[in-house]
């Protein structure tokens, strides 16, 4: 008997567009039912820690609703946010498969719903489902591709302004649904967290946003950032 979320998972996977970060999309229903039998779904409040950097892997988390911040920390306390995970993504997968410690800290940003699968159960599931293994390989390849792009963006960008512009362009491309004439980005992150994503200080991020607003490239509407001049924002990247 499938739980309500199990039915939602099957229906969404059968109707959604295939994306490499949604490992279960496109899989046969029997495989989805097999996964349903080994997962435990729970609700988590904002700021819940799922796992920490260096911890031995207990298993994977599938993000159903909400967002999760993935970060790494240095011995001096400096933190770098490496990714904001969105619904459909699998967290802790590489560590769970390799048996090596989790590479990052995972913490919910919003009230979230996640499914947890124990490591032994997940590895057994993969051994018995070749289709899931293939999707897993696709996702790991996609993660490697994205990691290379992130290193290129951070390592080869000439300024903090360029890094911020690249981040805003990435978010706008991901979240634009065509329902507005202007690009709208729901931030949901503090300036401190954005600074941790692009490797700079909170003060620098605040100064850069103030400059973008002064130049009428962006404007704030509550927690939503409206990109009023997309060409000018792209120009920040090409002219840096």
* One-character DSSP codes across 180-223: SSSEEEE--S-HHHHHHHHTS-HHHHHHHHHHHHHTTSEEEETT
Topology classification of domain 4-155: Jelly Rolls (2.60.120)
Round to the nearest angstrom and report the end-to-end CA distance of the chain.
57
Cβ-based neighbours of 43, under 8 Å, separated by 6 or more? 111, 112, 113
The kind and range of the H/E element at 39 are strand 39-44
Residues of the chain with CATH 2.60.120.10: 4-155
Name the pLDDT band for 154 (thresholds 50, 70, 90).
low
Model-level pTM?
0.73
The kind and range of the H/E element at 150 are helix 130-156
Whole-number percent of the chain with pLDDT over 70:
83
Write out pLDDT tens, residues 105-128. Answer: 999 999 999 999 999 999 999 999
**pLDDT value at residue 8:** 47
Handedness of CA 172, 176, 178, 179 (dihedral sign): negative
Name the pLDDT band for 46 (thresholds 50, 70, 90).
very high
Residues of the chain with CATH 1.10.10.10: 157-238
Q: What is the mean pLDDT of the chain?
A: 82
Q: Is the pLDDT of residue 189 over 80?
A: yes
Asked if residue 60 lies in contact with residue 122, where contact means CB atoms within 8 angstroms, the answer is yes
Q: How far apart are CA 57 and CA 52, in angstroms?
A: 10
| Residue pointed to by tokens 């700079």 | 200
Half-sphere exposure of 112 (CA within 13 A, CB side): 26
Largest CA distance in the chain: 58
**What average pLDDT does the segment 198-216 reach?**
92
226 vs 186: which has the higher pLDDT: 226
Cβ-based neighbours of 167, under 8 Å, separated by 6 or more? 194, 197, 198
To the question of domain 157-238 being in CATH 1.10.10.10, the answer is: yes
Q: How far apart are CA 196 and CA 141, in angstroms?
A: 25
Which residue from 9, 96, 82 is spatially nearest to 51, judged by alpha carbons? 96
**What average pLDDT does the segment 15-24 reach?**
44
Q: Burial of 228 by CB count in 10 Å (0-12 exposed, 13-18 middle, 19+ buried)?
A: middle
**What average pLDDT does the segment 2-14 reach?**
45
**What average pLDDT does the segment 175-204 reach?**
80
Q: Is the pLDDT of residue 158 over 60?
A: yes
Q: Is the pLDDT of residue 164 over 70?
A: yes
Name the pLDDT band for 175 (thresholds 50, 70, 90).
low
């Amino acid at each position: 008997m499938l739980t309500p979320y199990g039915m939602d998972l099957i229906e969404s996977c059968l109707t959604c567009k295939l994306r490499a970060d949604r490992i279960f999309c496109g899989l046969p229903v029997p495989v989805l039912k097999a996964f349903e039998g080994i997962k435990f779904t729970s609700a988590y409040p904002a700021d819940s820690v799922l796992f920490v950097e260096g911890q031995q892997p207990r298993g994977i988390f599938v993000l159903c609703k909400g967002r999760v911040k993935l970060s790494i920390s240095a011995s001096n306390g400096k933190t770098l946010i490496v990714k904001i995970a969105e619904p459909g993504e699998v967290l802790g997968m590489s560590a769970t498969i390799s048996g090596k410690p989790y590479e990052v800290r995972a913490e919910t940003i919003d009230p979230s719903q996640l499914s947890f699968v124990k490591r032994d159960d997940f590895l057994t599931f993969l051994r018995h489902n070749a289709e899931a293994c293939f999707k897993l390989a696709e996702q790991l390849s996609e993660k490697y591709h994205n990691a290379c792009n992130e290193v290129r963006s951070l390592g080869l960008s000439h300024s903090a302004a360029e890094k911020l512009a690249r981040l805003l362009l990435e978010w706008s491309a991901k979240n634009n649904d065509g329902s507005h004439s202007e690009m709208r980005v729901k931030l949901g992150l503090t300036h401190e967290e954005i600074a941790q994503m692009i490797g700079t200080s909170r003060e620098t991020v605040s100064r850069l946003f103030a400059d973008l607003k002064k130049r009428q490239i962006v404007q704030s509407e509550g927690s939503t950032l409206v990109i009023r001049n997309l060409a000018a924002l792209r120009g920040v990247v090409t002219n840096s």
